[in-house]
Amino acid sequence: MDCEGFDEIVLDLLYEDEPQGQATDEARRHAEGCPRCAAALASLQQARVQIELPSLPVPPGLAARILTEVEQRQQQEQSSWWGRLDRAISLLGSFAMRPQTAMGALLVLMTGLSLVLLRAKPAERGTVRITEHGIPAPPSPVSAAPEKKAIEMPSRKEEERARAPGAEAAPAGAPRDNTDPPAATQAPAAAPLPTPRAEVAAATTAAAEPAGKSDRPAPEPSQEATFTAAMEHYKARRYGDAMRAFDIVANGGGGNSGVAALYAARSARYSSGCNAALPRFDAIANRQVGSGAASEATWEAALCYREMGQGERAKQLFLTLRRVAGYRDRVEKELNAMEQRGAKEPAGAAAKPASP
């Protein structure tokens, strides 16, 4: 070790608080043989002795004062809501800053997103089976049964009551021609065309049935209430509100969902026209094959197509309905009328139907 190296380490020798290692041993040996460095070390050791600072006594009572102040400060902090909030945030922050917490949160987020994005479609929509003839096949008795029960058709007495003048089931001022919404006068004797009141009654009846009698679970009370409210909107011609409420019931998947979907489609037709309603009618006809709601949706769709000037498509749907009991006479009448007019009504002439 040279003198420069000694100078770097001389304070470690002086205070001896560092772990003494090879370097300090070398420095000591160097000082023994180097008068300059030995004098420097001796001078510093002498200075330490000379400069020893006299002790300043801690003022009496300072320790007690500090402890008292600390105690008071802690009590204030604990009693103040801000202090508690501060501690809670600090605690949460210390947890949140942990990598494990971040990874856990990421995992939960990804799982939640997966559930949202990959969840199955509601089972109530069912499947559409297509026959060799290219038309939807009638549902099997097992699968059709609950649907038929859910859309319980009104009895002949109810229908006649609904046909009576001023019946509440038909919206006031309903038009009387075939383009009209489902007015009681248009319903064939055996047509599965439920009037609002009858449908409400049917839905209520279905809900009141014991669980053992129905394959489909009874609708929840809230759905029933929504359905009733929707029907009230419909009667009052608030078709926008009615459509939204019927959509809620239809998407809820209860016993009234089929009827609600049909009325939602009708509401869409009266509020926004055939363009908005047709996809809904088509969807009902395809999803609820063989049900009264599907037949009625097909009928409504056919009328819409006819009004929009798509005669061929309308005719196709009318022909489909000709095989359904209760529609034959109406269909024949419509087909005859179309033939007479040559199915040449201008497109869009009646795209916006008259208010019911």
Partner 1 sequence: MVVGDASDEQLMRRFQEGDRVAFAALMRRHLGPLYQFIARHTSPGPLAEDLSQEVFLKVVERARDFKHESRFSTWLFTIARNLCIDTLRKQAHRAHASLDEPDAEGVPLGEQVRDEGPQAGERAAQSREVGARIEAALRALPEEQREVFLLREVANLPFQEIAQITGAPENTVKSRMRYALERLQEALRDFEEVARSLR
Stretch that binds partner 1, among 8-16, 269-277, 317-325, 342-350 (CB under 8 A): 8-16
- CB nearer to partner 1: give 41 or 198: 41
- CB nearer to partner 1: give 3 or 319: 3
Q: Which of 3, 39, 66, 189 binds partner 1 (CB under 8 A)?
A: 66
- CB nearer to partner 1: give 80 or 140: 80
Q: What is d(CA 128, CA 320) in angstroms, rounded to the nearest whole number? A: 16
The DSSP-derived string for 83-95 is HHHHHHHHHHHHH
Would you count residue 84 as binding partner 1 (CB under 8 A)?
A: no
- CB nearer to partner 1: give 40 or 276: 40
Cβ–Cβ under 8 Å, residues 294 and 191: no
Would you count residue 79 as binding partner 1 (CB under 8 A)?
A: no
* Residue partners of 238: CB distance under 8 A and separation at least 6: none
Q: Which amino acid is at 261?
A: A
- CB nearer to partner 1: give 37 or 285: 37
Q: Which of 65, 98, 125, 323 binds partner 1 (CB under 8 A)?
A: 65
Residue 240: CB minimum distance to partner 1, A: 58
Would you count residue 63 as binding partner 1 (CB under 8 A)?
A: yes
Q: What b/e sequence results for 128-153 when a residue is b if at least 16 CB atoms lie within 10 Å of its CB, and e otherwise?
A: eeeeeeeebeebeeeebebbbbbbbb
Footprint on residues 248-277 left by partner 1 (CB under 8 A): none
* Residue partners of 258: CB distance under 8 A and separation at least 6: 147, 150, 151, 250, 284, 288, 291, 293
Q: Please state, in angstroms and as integers, the Cα–Cα distance from residue 140 to each residue in 78, 129, 150, 152, following that order.
A: 71, 10, 16, 18
Give the orientation angle of helix 62-79 with respect to helix 81-96, to 10 degrees: 80
Q: What is d(CA 318, CA 301) in angstroms, rounded to the nearest whole number? A: 9
Residue 102: CB minimum distance to partner 1, A: 19
Contact letters for partner 1, residues 19-58 (x by CB under 8 A): ------------------------xx-xxxxxxxxxxxxx
Using CB under 8 A, count the residues that bind partner 1: 34
Would you count residue 88 as binding partner 1 (CB under 8 A)?
A: no
* Residue partners of 323: CB distance under 8 A and separation at least 6: none
Q: Residue 289 has which token pair?
A: 């094959």
Would you count residue 70 as binding partner 1 (CB under 8 A)?
A: yes
- Please report, as ranges, the residues that interact with partner 1 according to CB under 8 A: 8, 10-12, 15, 17-18, 43-44, 46-59, 62-63, 65-67, 69-71, 73-74, 90
